[in-house]
Amino acid sequence: MADQDAYRIEHDTMGEVRVPRAARWGAQTQRAVENFPVSGGTVAPGLIHALGAIKAAAAEVNAELGTVDAAVAGAIASAAAEVAAGDHDGEFPVDVFQTGSGTSTNMNANEVIAGLAAERLGAAVHPNDHVNASQSSNDVFPSAIHVAAAVATTHHLLPALDHLVEVLRDRAVANAEVVKAGRTHLMDATPVTLGQELAGYAAQVSAARERIAATLPRVGELPLGGTATGTGLNAPEGFAAAVIGRLAAELDVDLIEAPDHFAAQGARDQLVSLSGELRALAAGLLKVANDVRWMASGPKTGLAEIRIPDLQPGSSIMPGKVNPVIPEAVSQVVAQVYGNDAAVAFAGSQGNFELNVYLPVIARNLLESISLLATVSRLFADRCLAGIEADRDRCQAYAEATPQAATALNPVLGYERVAALVKESARSGKTIREVVLEAGVLDEAELDRSLDLLALTRGGIPDKA
């Protein structure tokens, strides 16, 4: 009796299936739950929400075209809107590692929406005939991936990167005249300012942001309307364009119908491209995070050129130790994004004829990368970079100590003479200024003009007057 109370009997074309009584899904979803106990991880909520949005728009258009009864379509659209809003995320239990077309998750959405619509309507609503009308898993599921990626990138990642750039530029202005040693090959080089370095980081992130944004018009090309193989069988004329227009307006993203449905269903090149640009962004973030870690290293035996906010104790055994935890989190996200991109690139290469059957794993890794990068970019900006404080005295001392400031003397003394002075500075431990004065090759006034450290950071040839 208890077992009967816990389950109900649903059926599909393969027969009867026991489904948990409280669940809103049906037979096909239950079969998928039982067939794919792989990772314990389910499809990303953003993808479920995109599916809900597509189903709602599709129902409205199906009603307008007379494909589905208006009352049934209205109930479907209302139920699907709840799925799109995240009200039923718990009703999507299918593992991300499932049938490669995403059919299991598409049917999960169809069954949940059909059940919700039937409650509203007080009559049966069929998951295939009504909710899935004019659609196939093969065009809807990849369309949902593209929509989810476009929404997450447009509304979460790009604003996060804009914020990161703004913080970096603010810190660059604040440190515009903090002279420090430049470094190439991790060795002393001609002086720079901390502001120049921070502005360079801002430019690097900004360029990555623009490259990501440039992929969005192609990501926004949806295969919807191609149905099973790209031919559009069972999709009324104008269906896809009308659905996509509604989606673009509702979600505030750029979406269009793919110009060629066979290319749009057989390959996922646009998503591979977006993933590649996410990896490039990750590479840039790692460069910035590592530089910050180097500059903040210490406090006594590292570079200690800057201070970053102390956020938490850094050791269970060493009292007072504080670590650069946010840059470390950034670097770990970078590692994950690189792995995700490798999975997306491989999966994207596995299209066969009219379909790529690695769709769920593409979605899982791409959407995770977008989410991780958006979140960690804001954390990096707010909990680390915004709190950068320069140790001006130490930066100045390093800049004065580097023998490579002598590069500014090349136009006056020549490369070989300056090289000899630099070697003497390194051998003796004296500053280049001291070595030049002792050599008597320039008087103090000439040397002051040539070795004006802030002036050296602005390029050009030192004033000889």
Q: List CB contacts of 207: < 8 A, sequence separation 6 or more.
A: 284
Q: Spot the catalytic one: 315, 331, 371, 450.
A: 315
Using DSSP bridges, classify how beta strands 306-307 and 389-390 pair: parallel, antiparallel or unpaired.
antiparallel
Nearest to 126 by CA among 247, 234, 22, 11: 11
| 59, 68 Cβ separation under 8 angstroms | yes
Burial, 89: exposed, middle or buried (Cβ in 10 Å; 0-12, 13-18, 19+)?
A: middle
Residue with tokens 């040839």: 461
CA angle centred on 166, ends 164 and 170, rounded to 5°: 120
146: annotated active-site residue: no
Burial, 304: exposed, middle or buried (Cβ in 10 Å; 0-12, 13-18, 19+)?
A: middle
130: annotated active-site residue: no
For residue 127, cis peptide bond before it (omega within 30 degrees of 0) = no
Which residues are registered as beta bridge partners of 183?
188
CA contacts within 13 A on the Cβ side of 36: 24
CB-based burial, 371-387: b 16+ in 10 Å, e otherwise: bbbbebbbbbbeebbbb
Q: What sign does the dihedral 79-85-87-93 (CA atoms) show?
A: positive
Nearest to 447 by CA among 426, 420, 421, 427: 421
Q: Which residues are catalytic?
A: 185, 315
